[in-house]
Structure 1
Amino acid sequence: MDDNRPHGRKKTYGGPTTGGYKRGDGLGTGPVGSQDGYAGRKTGSGSVGKRAAAGGGGTILLLVIGFILLKSCSGGGALSDLGGLAENFSGLQGGELPYQSQQNDTEYVAPSAEPVNTSVASGSRAKYTEILGNNKDTVTLMLYVCGTDLESKSGMASSDLQEIASSRYGDNVNVIVYTGGCKGWKTSGISTSVNQIYQLTDGKLRTLEKDMGNKAMTDPATLSEFIRYCAKNFPANRNDLIFWDHGGGSVTGYGYDEKLRNGGSMSLAGISKALRDGGVKFDFVGFDACLMATAETALMLNDYADYMVASEETEPGIGWYYTDWMTKLGSNTSISTLELGKSICDDFTSACARRCPGQKTTLSVIDLAEFANTVPSQLSAFADSISNKLTNKEYQDVSDARYHSREFATSSKIDQVDLVDLAMNMNTDEGKKLADALQKAVKYNRTSSNMTNAYG
């Protein structure tokens, strides 16, 4: 059975993407969104080409159904050092990042000089988070790490924890890590039998809770328990949450628990329940996972956060690069969320260009308050205009627009496209107004040099 498993973020051999991995390769036929786990399912080819069937009748029907669905959216214990872990994570196997021996750095790619869009559309709600300024803010970063095969096979979670440990921040930044969902951690001391909570401080992992039970990481109750724990024990005026694992987009959601795989993934409805029960309003919610920058995700998150940082496309296995933007946050806890989000996007894009050249990448910062304020009405009008075209049997217009739109995770056949590109390809007044609203709500968007028509 194992030989038939699709390997998430599988290494690609040959061509310009040698040494690359994807967070979510084979989604829809693999861990994310599959109630029966990997059993009997084959991996996708990993091709980034356009599907030959794009624009067919089935795709048009799914597209219209998706618009109709979118229209209905509305928006502890005492500290103790973990044995076996030295200051610089020497507990990692070999003492190095697991992917370093397989990937060659290329010339450094400088961060984008493009400024963030700080404007906000009138009528948008006030932000939940009030930044005090003058470096007086306290930050709690909640890192929800479902290690799964990304960690057990390649040590990718351990690599990211090491990146955070290499950053510099003081007592006014709390980095709290929840671990689980993995059969074999590369960092010695992290349990494979039970979930645990750690604090990353002074370059070390320190145990906060050594036994949180063997709970599915894709169960909303597990996430909400972690959020409440952080709010109680590490109160802050700025709270941030990062989902770490596989991602499957709007249809299948987040996560795959390698140990409790029958739990499936955490749907958008499940994420909403977890955040509602957690009772915290977030400065930003980020997805260090594939395919989560969607309209549905943004509309769902509006009730719980001010900004979303996520990728439209699949992510290379190295994921976000944490050291530099964490150091920037540590040096100024009053940094604006947009500037911090820009750093996250720039660092990710530059690291991927160095370590896995040739792979297409996207990462954006979305103002959720503006998105919920301006997009739904334009999306509704756009959906009505498409319905009218179908009623008038103008099928070719819709088919051509869909066929020429930027599609993501093409080998997984999840029918997820860039909504701005689709709206502009329709070449209607409704499409142009929707594209304008979407682009204004995306405050910063960074892509690899080989990615086109991905607007965030």
Structure 2
Amino acid sequence: MAEPVRRKKNIEEGGNGVHVRGDGLGTGPVGSSDGYKGKGSGGGSNGGGPKRSGGISPLSIVVVLVILLLGGGGGLSSLFGDSPETTDTGSYTQTTTTGNVATTTDTTTQQTTDNAYSNTTQSSTASSSSQMGSLLGSLLGGGTGYYGSASSAWAEEPNTGVLNKEVIDGARAKRTVIKGDGSDVTTIMVYMCGTDLESRSAMATKDLQEMMAADLSDQINIIVYTGGCKNWQNNVISSSVNQIYKVEKGGLRVLNDNAGQKPMTDPDNLASFIKWTADKYPADRYDLIFWDHGGGSVSGYGYDEKNAQSGSMGLSGINRALKGGGVTFDFIGFDACLMATVETALMTASYGDYLIASEETEPGVGWYYTDWLNAYSANPSMDTLEIGKNIIDGFTKTCESTCRGQKTTLSLIDLAELEKTVPDELKGFAQSTSDLVSDKNYKTVANARAQTREFAASTKIDQVDLVHLAYNMGTDEGKELADAIKGCVKYNRTSQGMTNAYGLSMYFPYRKSSKVDSMVSTSEAIGMDESYSECIQKVASMQVAGQMAAGGTQTPAGSLFGELSGSSSSASGDALMQLFTTMLSGSYSGISGLDASNTQFFGKGLDPQDMADYVSANQFDENALMFVKNDEDGDVIQMSADQWDLVQDLEVNIFYDDGTRYVDLGLDNSYDIDADGNPVAPSDRTWLYIDDQIVSYYHIDTQGDSDNYAIMGRVPVMLNDQRADLILIFDSENEDGYVAGVTYDYVNGETDTVAKNLTELSEGDKLEYICDCYAYDKTYTDTYFLGDPVIVEGSMEDMHISNRSVGDGEILVSFKFTDIYGQEHWSQSLKY
């Protein structure tokens, strides 16, 4: 069996052990928005830790029924304030023109006991150790979650770094006609919602500096609409009203100093800006850049921190805005996270010739504007493919040099070709995938999804690379769709070790079925074929059915401590049929995030008896999650081949007894396997430290293979009194790991979109490490501080990661298994 990729432990002597301090960060009840419970250091919004519950929660009649039925860059200090390392290269002129961009308001809304173990191997677990080893090796070598969010290498030939200028026959002509003699005039519209990216980290200001640093041609108009930020980090842009500026060489010129206070996520506001700009600055070529947070196909674009209640601008809202703007664009770009989706592309195809966007979360530096604007200014008739290539090359080069270890993707999609080839191929793929589910091959679909490159995995937005998913499905229709997508992606680049990111992703449910109804509504609003909706409804129905059969996703706290629920694979189809009938009547208690308002998808297109029979025959048996003593290797989990075949994810969970409570130290992907491929409980009593402080650590995902890999994890912190996560990377060149950056966390549901990662910590920043804690009755108590505050000295490169002793207290060790339905199961726990 091939050696699985996992985090290497660089065990060092010493260690201060666990020291919990403070009165806790939040005391609200479970599931409330008060404090950090359910969204905090361990679980909830980030998805890195267990789903929490404050003790054994009283479940609804549905879960009771289950029990009864189943038995069991720099610049311009004068303009943007002090910046001693730079000089002012131009003047600033203020000229007010008339016109108000915002016209109407139509806001969109958005939407976590030890048991004695047996020394006797159960007969059902030892029948085929070599087969189990092979299955576990396959699990650990790839798949989403534990050992990677993708298989170990590219599924097919990578399409990175090669500009594809071929255009298929039958694709519509480009709407933008380039003169080609250098006389083209271009107007670039930048819709810049500064939000907390600017107020916390001056990200928008830095990108404006990059624009102003370019040697701009008189034939290039850059018009920027600003707003959505409580505190712009410069001495020009207003924090109280929206404004419009023209970027000029070395400065900004105000065009409208008061464009109102409408939410930046209001589609009518964007439409008005587009119309106003096209009227004031007519051009041969128009480009549109969205600047802010991005949430992909479900959440869309934007978080206005001044108007948070307005939510994001979903794809249907963007569609309305682009239609209302009345302009067709040479390219539409998203300097925002996660917007390179096939849903986005199909929607924007009506308004643009090309789409430039990222499949993954963007590093905080975002696009690098100076170089591509210089090149464009030197040749205003530059081919759009070359412009897109320059944008992508500049972005990935800058991220490589300043954002070590952070994931980077950016792609250029020909929307005219996509419009011609993808809809029919996507329809065929969706129909064939639906047929697999209907024909009782759900496991095939679930495994394909689990083995596919996933983006922003810790946020559970359920976006995966479409080419990789299509290949993994193993159908003719999948291959045809993959080939069509690769043909449309004209240029694509990723960071080193970022495999199976071919340029376009797609929403495909697995982690959070509560968004399915919303995605169905969106797909209908933007004109996608109904086969797509039918497919995701069937897949999500099977996921929820499997979760309900196992007792629901609201895990009783005792399960985290090895109190096995006894859920087994012996439930009859008839018993499950009764349960699903109850669910179809609208009772979904026990499934996190589901209620009568977002469960219209359940059972659509599926026969309830077929669902019940399938789940009954493919149900994970928690009774198998008992440790077996192996004299040579230690304590191992042994299961039958059939049971391993239902596992898609595996992590180790550690709790520490500090004498007053249990401290959750997180989930790791570092443990051994024995000669037969069985996972071995780690008994070395060490855990991860940053410098001299033990921390809670949560594995996110793994990329690459044993020769070239990158493992990403997060450490929950308070950064300058705001909730955040340190990003840790362990890769083939840095096995001991390093701190790659930090990202802010939205613990109170401020937005469903995803922020760019803050690139680095600054000297003088205050770091406080945090952890979830549980009482001895195994009920959640609060989130507390670990150790004393740390003041950052030097750079992130000076922060030292190691594994050291957790201290003298007892630890509880268990494994967390995730099955084909996305249901989480904790093994029996062991005391060391």
Fold in common (TM above 0.5) = yes
Instruction: Specify the code of the residue in structure 2 equivalent to 1:88.
Output: L
Match of 1:138 among 177, 185, 189: 185
Say if 1:50 and 1:407, in contact at 8 Å, map to a contact too. no
Deviation string 1:46-95 (CA, Å, 9 cap, x unpaired) is: 99999999xxxxxxxxxxxxxxxxxxxxxxxxxxxxxxxxx925332432
Partners of 1:182 and 1:240 in 2: how far apart?
23
Match for residue 39 of structure 2? 42
Partners of 1:390 and 1:113 in 2: how far apart?
33
Structure 1 residues 369 and 147, CA gap change in structure 2 (3 angstroms): same
Secondary structure (helix, strand or coil) at the match of 1:207 reads: strand
Structure 1 residues 347 and 115, CA gap change in structure 2 (3 angstroms): same
Match for residue 677 of structure 2? none
Structure 1 residues 147 and 40, CA gap change in structure 2 (3 angstroms): farther
Match for residue 322 of structure 1? 369
Q: What is the CA distance between 1:121 and its match in structure 2?
A: 1.6
Match for residue 82 of structure 2? 94
2:436 aligned with 1:389: yes
Secondary structure (helix, strand or coil) at the match of 2:239 reads: coil
In structure 1, the gaps of 5 or more residues are: 1-35, 54-86, 99-111
2:175 aligned with 1:128: yes
Partners of 1:423 and 1:51 in 2: how far apart?
29
Match for residue 208 of structure 2? 161
Structure 1 residues 175 and 292, CA gap change in structure 2 (3 angstroms): same
Partners of 1:96 and 1:220 in 2: how far apart?
40
Output the aligned Cα RMSD: 2.6
Q: What is the CA distance between 1:388 and its match in structure 2?
A: 1.3
Structure 1 residues 327 and 45, CA gap change in structure 2 (3 angstroms): farther
Deviates more, 1:40-49 or 1:168-177: 40-49
Deviation string 1:217-251 (CA, Å, 9 cap, x unpaired) is: 00011111111111011100110000000000000
Superposition pairs for residues 348-359 of structure 1, below 5 Å?
348-359=395-406
Match of 2:234 among 168, 180, 187: 187
Say if 2:265 and 2:304, in contact at 8 Å, map to a contact too. yes
Partners of 2:412 and 2:41 in 1: how far apart?
29
Deviation string 1:342-369 (CA, Å, 9 cap, x unpaired) is: 1111110010011111001100000011
Partners of 2:160 and 2:429 in 1: how far apart?
33
Instruction: Specify the code of the residue in structure 2 equivalent to 1:309.
Output: I
2:426 aligned with 1:369: no
Superposition pairs for residues 431-446 of structure 1, below 5 Å?
431-446=478-493
Match of 1:290 among 332, 337, 348: 337
2:235 aligned with 1:247: no
Match of 1:312 among 359, 363, 376: 359
Structure 1 residues 417 and 50, CA gap change in structure 2 (3 angstroms): farther
Match of 1:207 among 245, 254, 276: 254
Say if 2:80 and 2:236, in contact at 8 Å, map to a contact too. no
Partners of 2:294 and 2:333 in 1: how far apart?
12
Secondary structure (helix, strand or coil) at the match of 1:143 reads: strand
Match of 2:263 among 190, 198, 216: 216
Match for residue 164 of structure 2? 117
Partners of 1:408 and 1:155 in 2: how far apart?
25
Say if 1:358 and 1:450, in contact at 8 Å, map to a contact too. no
Q: What is the CA distance between 1:278 and its match in structure 2?
A: 0.6
Q: What is the CA distance between 1:42 and its match in structure 2?
A: 3.3
Structure 1 residues 48 and 413, CA gap change in structure 2 (3 angstroms): closer
Match of 1:225 among 236, 261, 272: 272
Instruction: Specify the code of the residue in structure 2 equivalent to 1:405.
Output: T
Secondary structure (helix, strand or coil) at the match of 1:329 reads: helix
Say if 1:147 and 1:157, in contact at 8 Å, map to a contact too. yes
Instruction: Specify the code of the residue in structure 2 equivalent to 1:42.
Output: K
Deviates more, 1:376-385 or 1:237-246: 376-385
Structure 1 residues 424 and 45, CA gap change in structure 2 (3 angstroms): farther
Moved over 2 A (4+): 38-53, 87-94, 112-115
Instruction: Specify the code of the residue in structure 2 equivalent to 1:140.
Output: T
Instruction: Specify the code of the residue in structure 1 equivalent to 2:392.
Output: C
Q: What is the CA distance between 1:114 and its match in structure 2?
A: 3.9
Instruction: Specify the code of the residue in structure 2 equivalent to 1:320.
Output: W
Structure 1 residues 229 and 45, CA gap change in structure 2 (3 angstroms): farther
Partners of 2:76 and 2:304 in 1: how far apart?
28
Task: Name the structure where helix makes up a greater proportion of residues.
Answer: 1
In structure 2, the gaps of 5 or more residues are: 1-32, 52-74, 87-158, 504-832
2:394 aligned with 1:347: yes
Structure 1 residues 49 and 347, CA gap change in structure 2 (3 angstroms): farther
Deviation string 1:12-70 (CA, Å, 9 cap, x unpaired) is: xxxxxxxxxxxxxxxxxxxxxxxx9x9998368799999999xxxxxxxxxxxxxxxxx
Structure 1 residues 175 and 187, CA gap change in structure 2 (3 angstroms): same
Say if 1:423 and 1:431, in contact at 8 Å, map to a contact too. yes
Q: What is the CA distance between 1:113 and its match in structure 2?
A: 9.5
Deviation string 1:311-364 (CA, Å, 9 cap, x unpaired) is: 000001110000100100000011100111011111100100111110011000
Partners of 1:212 and 1:334 in 2: how far apart?
32
Say if 1:89 and 1:187, in contact at 8 Å, map to a contact too. no
Superposition pairs for residues 12-51 of structure 1, below 5 Å?
42=39
Partners of 2:337 and 2:279 in 1: how far apart?
30
Structure 1 residues 282 and 97, CA gap change in structure 2 (3 angstroms): farther
Match for residue 360 of structure 1? 407
Match for residue 337 of structure 1? 384
Say if 1:198 and 1:208, in contact at 8 Å, map to a contact too. yes
Q: What is the CA distance between 1:392 and its match in structure 2?
A: 1.3
Say if 1:360 and 1:448, in contact at 8 Å, map to a contact too. yes
Say if 1:51 and 1:410, in contact at 8 Å, map to a contact too. no
Secondary structure (helix, strand or coil) at the match of 1:175 reads: strand
Superposition pairs for residues 406-417 of structure 1, below 5 Å?
406-417=453-464
Structure 1 residues 40 and 202, CA gap change in structure 2 (3 angstroms): farther
Deviation string 1:399-455 (CA, Å, 9 cap, x unpaired) is: 111110000000110110001000001111111101000000000000001211000
Match of 2:308 among 250, 261, 265: 261
Say if 2:42 and 2:49, in contact at 8 Å, map to a contact too. no
Partners of 1:380 and 1:281 in 2: how far apart?
26
Say if 2:178 and 2:184, in contact at 8 Å, map to a contact too. yes
Partners of 1:235 and 1:353 in 2: how far apart?
37
Structure 1 residues 52 and 258, CA gap change in structure 2 (3 angstroms): closer
Partners of 2:314 and 2:425 in 1: how far apart?
25
Superposition pairs for residues 396-435 of structure 1, below 5 Å?
396-435=443-482
Instruction: Specify the code of the residue in structure 1 equivalent to 2:80.
Output: L
Structure 1 residues 50 and 451, CA gap change in structure 2 (3 angstroms): farther
Structure 1 residues 251 and 45, CA gap change in structure 2 (3 angstroms): farther
Match for residue 243 of structure 2? 196
Instruction: Specify the code of the residue in structure 1 equivalent to 2:175.
Output: Y
Say if 2:197 and 2:292, in contact at 8 Å, map to a contact too. yes
Q: What is the CA distance between 1:118 and its match in structure 2?
A: 1.0
Secondary structure (helix, strand or coil) at the match of 1:285 reads: strand
2:349 aligned with 1:302: yes
Task: Name the structure where strand makes up a greater proportion of residues.
Answer: 2
Q: What is the CA distance between 1:390 and its match in structure 2?
A: 1.1
Partners of 1:124 and 1:163 in 2: how far apart?
36
Deviation string 1:109-161 (CA, Å, 9 cap, x unpaired) is: xxx99441111122211111000012110010101100000000110000000
